[in-house]
Amino acid sequence: MRSQGVIGWLLVLPAAALLALFTHYPVVATIVDSFYATSRAGRPGPFVGLENYQVMVADEVFWKSLWNNVWYSLGTIPLSITLALVMALWVNSAMRGRTWLRVAFFTPTILPMIAVANIWLFFYTPQYGLLEKLTTSLGFATHNWLGTESTALACVMVVAIWKDAGFFMIFYLAALQSIPPSLAEAAALEGAPRGYYLRRIVLPLLMPTTLFVLVNAVINSFRLVDHIVVMTRGGPNNATSLLLFHIYQVGFSFWDTGYAAALTLVLLAILAAAAIGQFVFLDRKVHYQ
């Protein structure tokens, strides 16, 4: 019995060691670092207690980035999930050319974000960009989409929705195909309208997938900032600065690693809260088969 326990521990050791090295140790190190000033020129930084957090409270760019991120999440998550569901329902139905449609919907996911951002940069270009050609042909005045504070964030949100929706669609599609066709047949025999079947049978059966997708979408909205780097670099005047982008700037442009550690903790806390909240509260409402 005892030796079995040892073997068990030995079996999890490689995974546990990797987890500790690449997940737990960095988290602990980040917490510790956030209480120290940034080391300069090889001299270790002194212990400063909560100073980094005081700096954060006074940092306008931090608050701006945080609010931007809240709007960004609220704007991208519901839309991309809804879109993914609609697309999945569509390409799940029997129709001609659905393979092509599936490929078309999934393509944005395969493309690297940097490439995508470069393409969209030209879509948004004033005057001869794709969007401008469309709006000016309809008689609207030209607009500098990425160069105006009021529209820049919405523009980068559209890119994220376009890219994420296809990815989430794949999960919905897989879930839809695992629903036994007998249910649809039974519903049809009972004379249930399609809307009723969708609302009372398909959507509840998709809830576990929705939860999974939701968790991923929340994480993505805080984690994916590649297109910001390419398209706006947080500008104009921080209108598109998201939390992770701000952390990157503080950490790797300003080399203020102490403060960056404190900011990282905020991001970690938000993500942990979101994940726990979703698993604890939503799990109860999720219907498992």
Q: Could you tell me the smallest distance in angstroms from the CB atom of residue 250 to other proteins?
A: 9
**Among 230, 30, 268, 270, CA closest to 113:** 230
Q: Choose, by CB under 8 A, the member of 107, 142, 177, 178 that binds other proteins.
A: 142
End-to-end CA distance of the chain: 36
Q: Which is nearer to other proteins, 61 or 70 (CB)?
A: 61
Q: Is 41 in the site for other proteins (CB under 8 A)?
A: yes
Subset of residues 248 to 277 that bind other proteins, contact rule: CB under 8 A: 249, 252-256
Nearer to other proteins, 136 or 278 (CB): 136
Single-letter code of the amino acid located at 171: F
Q: If binding is defined by CB under 8 A, does position 149 make contact with other proteins?
A: yes
Q: Out of 24, 40, 133, 200, which residue is the one contacting other proteins (CB under 8 A)? A: 40
HEC string for 187-256: HHHCCCCHHHHHHHHHHHHHHHHHHHHHHHHHHHHHHCCHHHHHHCCCCCCCCCCCHHHHHHHHHHHCCC
Bridge partners of 98, per DSSP, are none
CA distance 47 to 32: 10
137 in contact with other proteins (CB under 8 A): no
Q: Does 148 bind other proteins (CB under 8 A)?
A: yes
Contact set for other proteins, span 152-181 (CB under 8 A)? none
Binding-site ranges for other proteins (CB under 8 A): 40-42, 61, 121-122, 125-128, 136, 139, 141-142, 144, 146-149, 232-233, 235-238, 249, 252-256
